[in-house]
Structure 1
């Protein structure tokens, strides 16, 4: 494969896309496993905006926790939002709504929300500081902006796998080609300060995949994602990979998932920024 690389394209393309393998992993997310740092700030009657709500599992969980308050989930994909609305209806959660939205230009007046939340969003934006300024605008004085993003620079696993090492190298390259920041977790505090927040509490947490079921789920999702999702299209379009290599990397994920010693950790940076 040629070592020549196209110049980085500065854009806000979502590296993962909305393939079923991506949505399955996103649908696993809840407040408990993905936004526990926010729990002390949730209260009955709060009005919450969930930016990048995806399939809506975190959004709906937030809505349950702030009743009779209301939650609005916004995302760029109308199809995903329709599924999220259907999930909320099937689970009897009526204090939540979903709408197409833009993180850089929220369709809400100043000082509208008690909490603006974004999970795994800033890493995909070429202008994360601008997005945070917009989150701040839409948050009431005394309210909070809550952000959590993964940091791929700290992802590691066992056993040693050249295939997963190459996957991580490729993932970082494609993510950057799309205009994002794969090491967002370590930067969220600095981005918030650059956006004008002076009261910022920064913490961190991890996802760990180690049990047989966890490995089968996470490894299987990535084996499918790396060959069939938008990530595969981006990897090929950008010149960073080809179909044969992507199939080999999918096999590496399956091998890791089948190994009883398999273990993988993904660190996240998170902030509570008070307005």
Structure 2
């Protein structure tokens, strides 16, 4: 496991473990500021400026922009596909002021202290050098850095299907092969301190899928993602067979069909005052 003092040097070659296929972007587009950045909302007020690092399809970004108007909001992402989805969502909402740019977390296209808030949701877990990214985010932030990341080892589910445990073990193996940290949540405070951020507040929240609608959505969303080319190819690289991938897909479907289905995961949230 990576510690704050063992983060590898980066060369702008991070591999996004989930990939950018349609099921991934569709799932990320369901996230809202309320469900994914609730810890940050009490600290925002109209007129503040915000940079969203790794904005993806921008459902969170645009929610935050609505709260901050007339403040400037910029979303950046390394993926052209994600940015296309972000711009399409902005157009759908009639938002012509939020802007988007292709950039990575290690080299933000912004002057020192140019945004009141710099935000990143589920980003640091995918980076080879999260400390360097936090240091760069702090450079750009005039007041606050806000990050939230899951800890995959906290995922709990019922029925306890072997195919789901295989999926979880496989994902964590793939992430580490990509020089990423699937249990990033537990390291956020240490990474922030290593980046020179001393004034931090840490909180925890969870996502839970237990009602019929959320179970159905999570089941089918995950089955599609596992069946996708990105996960399948990486799972096979990690030593899984095509038959085992199909077992994981079926496990997600079977889980969703159970009237007792339950799935939860814990997220760590960190606010750092600059």
Structure 1 residue aligned with 2:35? 33
Per-residue displacement from partner, 1:150-195 (whole Å, max 9, x unpaired)?
Answer: 0001110112211111111111100100110010011111111110
* Structure 1 partner of 2:165: 165
Superposition deviation, residue 42 in structure 1: 1.1
Q: TM-score, normalised by structure 2?
A: 0.94
- Partners of 2:229 and 2:258 lie apart in 1 by 25
Q: Secondary structure at the match of 2:40?
A: helix
User: For 1:261 and 1:226, how far apart are their aligned partners in 2?
Assistant: 22
Name the CA distance, whole Å, in 2 between partners of 1:127 and 1:105. 12
Mapped partners of 2:154, 2:92: distance in 1: 38
Do the aligned residues in 2 keep the contact of 1:74 with 1:100 (CA within 8 Å)?
A: yes
Report the equivalent of 2:5.
Answer: none
Figure out how many residues of one structure are paired with residues of the other and give that number. 263
Distance 2:257 2:197 in 1: 45
Render the CA deviation track for 1:108-140: whole Å, top value 9, x for unaligned.
Answer: 111111000000000000100000000000011
**Is the Cα contact below 8 Å between 2:73 and 2:98 reproduced in 1?**
yes
The residue aligned with 1:264 is: 263
Contact 2:74 2:98 in 1 (8 A): yes
Q: Which moved more, 1:21-30 or 1:90-99?
A: 90-99
Structure-2 separation of matches of 1:144 and 1:240: 42
For the residues of structure 2 that align with 1:184 and 1:15, how far apart are their CA atoms? Answer: 14
CA contact (8 A) 2:20 2:81 kept: no
Q: Distance in 1 between matches of 2:271 and 2:73?
A: 18
Please tell me whether the aligned partners of residues 78 and 99 of structure 1 are also in contact (alpha carbons under 8 angstroms): no
- The equivalent of 2:90 in structure 1 is 88
- 2:24 equivalent to 1:22: yes
Structure 2 residue 241 is matched with structure 1 residue 236: no
Q: CA deviation at 1:229?
A: 4.1
Q: Provide the residue aligned with 1:147 in structure 2.
A: 147
Task: Let me know the Cα RMSD of the aligned residues.
Answer: 1.1
Match of 1:199 in 2: 199
Q: Distance in 2 between matches of 1:78 and 1:226?
A: 22
Q: Report the Cα offset of residue 33 of structure 1.
A: 0.4
In 2, Cα distance between the equivalents of 1:121 and 1:132? 11
SS of aligned partner of 1:37 = coil
5+ residue gaps, structure 1: 1-9
1:271–1:66 distance in 2 versus 1, CA, 3 Å: same
Matches within 5 A, 1:1-275: 12-140=14-142, 143-237=143-237, 239-275=238-274
Q: Distance in 2 between matches of 1:169 and 1:155?
A: 11
CA distance in 2 between counterparts of 1:268 and 1:50 reads 18
Aligned-partner Cα distance in 2 for 1:229–1:14? 14
Tell me, in whole angstroms, the C-alpha distance in 1 between the residues paired with 2:227 and 2:88.
28
Distance 2:144 2:235 in 1: 36
